[in-house]
Amino acid sequence: MQSYGDETRPLAALSLPSRIVIGVAACAVAAVVAIHLAMMFLHVAPANTLSKHQSELIGDYVYPEYEQNWKLFAPNPLQQNIAVQARARLRTEDGTTRTTGWIDLTARDGQAIVHNPLPSHTQQNQLRRGWEFFLNSHNAQNRPTGMRGELSERYIRRIVMHRLDGEWTAAGGRVEQIQVRSKTTAVSPPPWSTEKISDKPTFRVLPWWQVTADDLPEGATNQ
């Protein structure tokens, strides 16, 4: 009768170096999993001494890849679509100025994601998080409410210029100022709902911002 006893001990048939490699790999995987679970636990758990002391380290690990966002399951989930748009005031070669039309950056991001099976977090979140950063640091009159207000403005300017400076320059002009606005539209209710929602968009228009050399992509000049 054939014995199958050896099949229950596959590691016994391996050489010592192979068993050492497998053991080390298993320990490494276990350590990585343990670290990940610990970081996520400290991130979502109530504030405690360890999470406060290591808040910077935990934040660097969690964001942006493992961000926890529960808005979909909130009592009042998001019911609006917000699009960020930008336009520029250009100085042409003959010294005159002209204003471009509005460009919908959010729509461009959406189109890029639709045709990308593995979109990055930058593609999905950079513009959205930048706009949220601005809103959280400004009042309804678009005035900064804290020290992070100016930082959020610079961040928005750089996103816009890094994406559109080449396009605007190619259109025949040097970018002197940019203006950003948001277009908010309500999400339509499902067909079976009797809820009535206005489909008229609302806009939040920011003041014109002067473009500086710090706002330009690397290698570009504002001359």
Contact (Cβ atoms closer than 8 angstroms) between residue 186 and residue 104: no
Whether the pTM exceeds 0.95: the reply is no
- Looking at the domain assignment, is residue 107 inside a domain? yes
Q: How many CB atoms are located within 10 Å of the residue 171 CB? A: 13
pLDDT at 127 over 90: yes
Structural domain ending residue among the three candidates 17, 37, 62: 62
Residues 179 and 131 both lie in one domain? yes
Residue 109's domain comprises 79-215
- Looking at the domain assignment, is residue 98 inside a domain? yes
- Looking at the domain assignment, is residue 192 inside a domain? yes
Number of domains the chain is built from: 2
Q: How far apart are the first and last CA of the chain?
A: 89
What's the rounded Cα separation, in Å, for the pair 101 and 96? 17
Residues 108 and 175 both lie in one domain? yes
- Looking at the domain assignment, is residue 190 inside a domain? yes
| Encoded tokens for 109 | 């991001």
Distances (CA, A) of 122 to 112, 126, 134, 180: 12, 5, 17, 20
- Looking at the domain assignment, is residue 72 inside a domain? no
pLDDT at 77: 63
- Looking at the domain assignment, is residue 116 inside a domain? yes
Residues 97 and 37 both lie in one domain? no
Per-residue pLDDT band at 61 (split at 50, 70, 90): confident
Per-residue pLDDT band at 223 (split at 50, 70, 90): low
Using DSSP's 3-state secondary structure scheme, residue 13 falls into: helix
Q: pLDDT for 132-178, tens place per residue? A: 999 999 999 999 998 889 999 999 999 999 999 999 999 888 999 99
- Looking at the domain assignment, is residue 70 inside a domain? no
Residues 50 and 98 both lie in one domain? no
Q: pLDDT for 182-221, tens place per residue? A: 999 988 888 887 878 888 999 999 999 999 988 988 756 6
Residues 36 and 119 both lie in one domain? no
Residues 98 and 193 both lie in one domain? yes
The conformation of residue 172, written as its DSSP 8-state character, comes to T
pLDDT at 58: 85
Residues 131 and 204 both lie in one domain? yes
Residues 16 and 98 both lie in one domain? no
What's the rounded Cα separation, in Å, for the pair 9 and 28? 22
Residues 17 and 83 both lie in one domain? no
pLDDT at 38 over 60: yes
pLDDT at 6 over 60: no
pLDDT at 11 over 70: no
Q: pLDDT for 68-111, tens place per residue? A: 666 555 556 667 899 999 999 999 888 899 999 999 999 999 99
Residues 55 and 11 both lie in one domain? yes
Max mean pLDDT among 37-46, 103-112, 118-127 falls in: 103-112
